[in-house]
Amino acid sequence: MLTPMGAYALTAEADGLLFVAGMTPREDDGSLRAGIVGADMDLETARAAATRAVTRALDAASENPRFVRVVAMTVYVRCAVDFTALSAVADAASAVVHAWAPDHPLPARAAVGVVSLPGGAPVEVSLVLGAS
Q: What is the CATH number of the domain that holds 91?
A: 3.30.1330.40
Domain count, the chain: 1
pLDDT of 56 strictly over 70: yes
> pLDDT by residue (tens digit) across 92-131?
999 999 999 999 999 999 999 999 999 999 999 999 999 9
18, part of any domain: yes
3, part of any domain: no
pLDDT of 1 strictly over 70: no
Where does residue 111 rank: exposed (0-12), middle (13-18), buried (19+ CB within 10 A)?
buried
Please give the residue range of the domain that contains residue 85.
11-130
4, part of any domain: no
80, part of any domain: yes
What is the reported pLDDT for 6? 80
Mean pLDDT confidence for 72-77: 98
Q: Which amino acid is at 52?
A: R
125, part of any domain: yes
54, part of any domain: yes
> pLDDT by residue (tens digit) across 3-54?
777 889 999 999 999 999 999 999 988 899 999 999 999 999 999 999 999 9
State pTM to two decimals. Answer: 0.95
pLDDT of 132 strictly over 80: no
> pLDDT by residue (tens digit) across 59-68?
999 999 999 9
Report in angstroms the alpha-carbon separations of 112 from 6, 101, 118: 22, 24, 15
5, part of any domain: no
6, part of any domain: no
Q: Where are the beta strands (DSSP E) in 15-122?
A: 17-23, 69-78, 108-114
